[in-house]
Structure 1
Amino acid sequence: MEIDELTEPERRVWEAFPRGGAVDLTEADGRSVRARVLRSLLLAAPEEDGEIPALRLRGARITGELNLHSGVVACPVSLRACDFEETVVLYGAEFRQLTMSECRMPGLWATTLRVDGSLRLNDCHIPGAVALSGARIAGALFLSRAVLGTPAADAGGEPSERPEAPLKLDHATIGEDLRGTRLTVHGRSRLEGLGVAGLVRLDDARLLNPGETALHAETLTVGTDLHAMRLHAEGRVNLRGVTVPGQLNLGYARLSNPGGVALRASSSTVGEFWLREVPPVEGAVNLRRARIDMLYAEPQVWPASVRFDGLTYTTLAPALPAAERLEVLGRDGDGYVPSAYEQLTAAYRHIGDDAAARTVQLAKQRRHRRTLSPHGRLWGHLQDVTVGYGFRPMRAAGWLAGLLLLGALTFGLHPPRPLKEDEAPEFNAFAYALDLLLPIIDFGQEKAYAPQGGYQWLAYLFIVAGWVLATTFVTGVNRAVTRS
């Protein structure tokens, strides 16, 4: 392009470029710069000896399409507070450093973009899509305070005017951090397969796609933490299969997808999962097969429908009585899930609260009882009342003591007749009651004396009760030995 063809704003940009000078057109009478002028600068840059060229432009109105498809840009580029007339095309392009903060543009098509440094899109307003699928960014990606997509109410009722996914970062690679504090996305954010070597920060972000998926981040891999405190998500948050070795922090977040799944983190691997002071989730939660070292969640966080099957965790916080945690297990849409009770038991044992662990195990047996046949439920009720399925062994001692006292008094007042008068030992009501109740003890009283009438039926009752108490007590001891 000949220098004489340039307008005054374009001439300023052209002359400043070889020395890396900055041009601010914010207050200029003429702000328009043709996109093809910038393309010529970036792809066939004029140079001066001893100078480092760079494009540093602020406040311009860029007309036409800035198309750098597959281009290689060797100099740093900084376009701040610029208004682009058409979608910016950076498909397959390569940059050293790229900043487009505070810009307004219809869209950004940058699939498979390569940036040796950082990509900055802070404070941008882009009603179309930011397509960075397969991008390779060696530094960090900045999206703080950006507004992407168009609210459904402003799209004029035409589906084609509202992108299905305003943010596309699927299968991209970021060498440092992804920072999107106070980011707003109207529509789906696609982060599946994204790899971030550092942390992901989405504090105070708004991901709005009511009735659909707001965040699709399956198999996202993060090097350290994923912080999304005070996140406001309308639509499903899909974190299936994510790997976060540090914190996955959703503290104070608001998750809403009524009638659907609000949070899915199944098959994920997380160091610390924080749901601190989160309002009740509006929609179902799925944590199936997730592996979490520390899970922080108050019971009121969980909605009416949760999925805990296969969930494993080492520590559950905050420390609460078992009764407050048990109610949540009854909300599992899969029905009776034994592993959920076992996991909660293990968490209480991990902190040394054996009493709470026994409470959970007793609740597990009671819940399991509902799945049994009528005679199985009857036997379960009997074990529950007598010794609490072996988790309340003192009940057995109480029952035995009570029955022993009843037997000693009853048979002491109404002694049974001896079977052989001359061979029978002297009758002892206490020993006779013990003989009836404890099948493994033989004082010779039961064999020598035979009650009659109603007392015979009472003796039978003592024998049956003794077997039941002994069986359930042995069952409880066996569970204790197995646990240890």
Structure 2
Amino acid sequence: MEINDLTPAELRVWQAFPRGEVVDFRPDATEDTATGAAWGPERTLRASVLKALLVSAPQEDGEIAALRVLGARVTGGLNLTHGVVEHPIRLAYSYFTDPPELYGAQLRRISLRASVLPGLDLGSARVDQWVQLSDCRVRGRVNMGGAHISGSLRLDRAELTAPGTSKPVLQLNQVVIEEDLRGRRLRVHGEMVLNGSNVSGSVNLDGAHLKNPGRLALDAMTLGVGGDFLLRRVDVDGWTGLRGARIAGRLDLSYARLSNPGDMALRAASCTVGELWLRRGEPLDGGLNLRRAQMDVLFVEPEKLPDRVRLDGLGYTTLTPHEPAERRLPMLERDVDGYVPHAYEQLTAAYRRIGDDHAARLVQLAKQRRHRTTLPWYGRLWGHVQDATVGYGFRPMRALGWLLSLLAVGSVTFAVHAPPPLKADEAPHFNPVFYTLDLLLPVISFGQEPAFAPQGGQQWLSYVLVLTGWILATTVIAGVTRTVSRQ
């Protein structure tokens, strides 16, 4: 392109490029970029001129060439598809009439900070440093699928909308980011896709607003994160998918609002997380799916949990904060899969690790009661007997209470009216206490029970004492057996 073909604004940029100087067309720093459609020729740049500048413009010895423009109106499509650009690009606070096409381009770094664009294609691009899209307003799709960014991707406070499309508004699938992905207070009206991507650093979406009601709002399935995935104070309308994600650090959903009424709000099945934080703020408006997920620390406040959960196969080492078993058990009772034995065993193990054996026993008792509901009528009946007598072996003092009560009833009854001996000349001296113990204890014999023959009502009482003694002995042995086998 000949220099004689340039407008005064373009000539100014052309001359500044070889020395990497900044050209600022803004009258003041507070100008609203959304008014760019009305900007005149004094700050209008043709995309074809910028392309020629980046691809073939001369450089000055001893200077570092770079495109640094603020507040320009860029007309036409900036098409650098599969191009190799060795110079940094900064087109900040600018208004684009057409979406930049940078598919497959090799770039050093690019900044479009606070610009207004009708779309952006950076799919499969290679960027040696960072991509800066903070404060941008994009009224179309942003595609970065398959891009490789050696630095960070910055989307802080960006607002992305794509009315009339069913495709993802922000497409970051299969992206490799060697540093951080930052999207604090990012606003996406539509689907945000991160599936299959790998971020070596952390992902920070604190305060983001993701809106796709009734549909997938954040698709982060099989995402790999080397650091933390921060979703503090996010507002998600739609469901969040984290199935198969691998997050080495913390998945922090503190103060997060996740809403997908009638279905799962968070689907994190089969994910691997260092720490999951579900704390503070209102409970999830929708279900929580953590099936087969594995994590070292599960930081969950009971108030944060929704009415519907899926916990089968969930594994964790530490459960915090420490809460009484009565506060944790409703979480297991809300499982939509019904009775899930593994969930009770995990909670029991968590209490035992911190030495809270009382809470562990309560969880095991709750497990037996929940299991009882799945049995046929005769199994439920026997379960009620074990529960009432010795609490399935987890409340052995109940057996002692029953024994003492029955011992008192029998002793008083037989003391008032002693049963006649079978052989008066051979019978030992009658002792109502030891006679009752002989009836109650099926293994121990004091020689009283075989020497006397109760009649009438006393005979029926003896039958009740013998039967009750066997039930107590059986349930105690069953409870001890379960305890020993667990240990």
1:48 shift after superposition: 1.5
| Aligned residue in 1 for 2:20 | 20
| Aligned residue in 1 for 2:268 | 265
Post-superposition Cα deviations, 1:159-196, rounded to whole Å, max 9, x if no partner, equal 3xx35211000011000000000100000000001100
Give the unaligned 5+ runs of structure 2: 28-39
Q: Give, in whole Å, the separation in 1 of the partners of 2:191 and 2:58.
A: 42
CA contact (8 A) 1:260 1:284 kept: yes
Matched, 1:227 2:227: no
Sequence identity percentage? 56
**What SS is found at the alignment partner of 2:42?**
coil
Q: Give, in whole Å, the separation in 1 of the partners of 2:452 and 2:139.
A: 96
CA contact (8 A) 1:128 1:163 kept: no
The amino acid of 1:11's aligned partner reads: L
Post-superposition Cα deviations, 1:91-113, rounded to whole Å, max 9, x if no partner, equal 00001111111111111111101
CA contact (8 A) 2:9 2:41 kept: no
**What SS is found at the alignment partner of 1:266?**
coil
1:425 shift after superposition: 2.3
Instruction: From 75, 88, 91, give the equivalent of 2:100.
Output: 88
1:29 shift after superposition: 6.6
**What SS is found at the alignment partner of 1:207?**
strand
| Aligned residue in 2 for 1:308 | 311
**What SS is found at the alignment partner of 2:50?**
helix
Instruction: From 410, 415, 419, give the equivalent of 2:418.
Output: 415
Post-superposition Cα deviations, 1:374-426, rounded to whole Å, max 9, x if no partner, equal 11111111111110111110000110111112222212222222223333222
Aligned pair in 2 of structure 1 residues 15, 473: CA closer, same or farther (>3 Å)? Answer: same
Instruction: From 455, 458, 463, give the equivalent of 1:455.
Output: 458
Aligned pair in 2 of structure 1 residues 70, 29: CA closer, same or farther (>3 Å)? Answer: closer
**What SS is found at the alignment partner of 1:208?**
strand
| Aligned residue in 1 for 2:33 | none
The amino acid of 1:95's aligned partner reads: L
Instruction: From 276, 280, 285, give the equivalent of 2:283.
Output: 280
**What SS is found at the alignment partner of 1:260?**
strand
Instruction: From 404, 408, 426, give the equivalent of 1:405.
Output: 408
Q: Give, in whole Å, the separation in 2 of the partners of 1:384 and 1:260.
A: 36
Post-superposition Cα deviations, 1:31-64, rounded to whole Å, max 9, x if no partner, equal 1111011111111131122221111111111111
Post-superposition Cα deviations, 1:220-261, rounded to whole Å, max 9, x if no partner, equal 110010111100000001111111121111100111111221
**What SS is found at the alignment partner of 1:53?**
coil
Instruction: From 141, 150, 175, give the equivalent of 1:129.
Output: 141
**What SS is found at the alignment partner of 2:297?**
strand
| Aligned residue in 2 for 1:54 | 66
Which residues of 2 match residues 235-274 of structure 1 at below 5 A? 235-274=238-277
Residues paired across the two proteins, number = 475
Matched, 1:467 2:470: yes
| Aligned residue in 1 for 2:86 | 74
CA contact (8 A) 1:309 1:340 kept: yes
Instruction: From 390, 394, 412, give the equivalent of 2:393.
Output: 390
Higher mean displacement: 344-353 or 432-441: 344-353
CA contact (8 A) 2:77 2:99 kept: yes
**What SS is found at the alignment partner of 2:404?**
helix
Instruction: From 291, 294, 301, give the equivalent of 2:294.
Output: 291
The amino acid of 1:245's aligned partner reads: A
Matched, 1:322 2:336: no
Normalised by the size of structure 2, how large is the TM-score?
0.95
**What SS is found at the alignment partner of 1:455?**
helix
Q: Give, in whole Å, the separation in 2 of the partners of 1:234 and 1:432.
A: 72
Normalised by the size of structure 1, how large is the TM-score?
0.96
The amino acid of 2:304's aligned partner reads: V
Matched, 1:198 2:210: no
**What SS is found at the alignment partner of 1:417?**
coil
Give the unaligned 5+ runs of structure 1: none
| Aligned residue in 1 for 2:377 | 374
CA contact (8 A) 1:288 1:310 kept: yes
CA contact (8 A) 1:149 1:163 kept: no
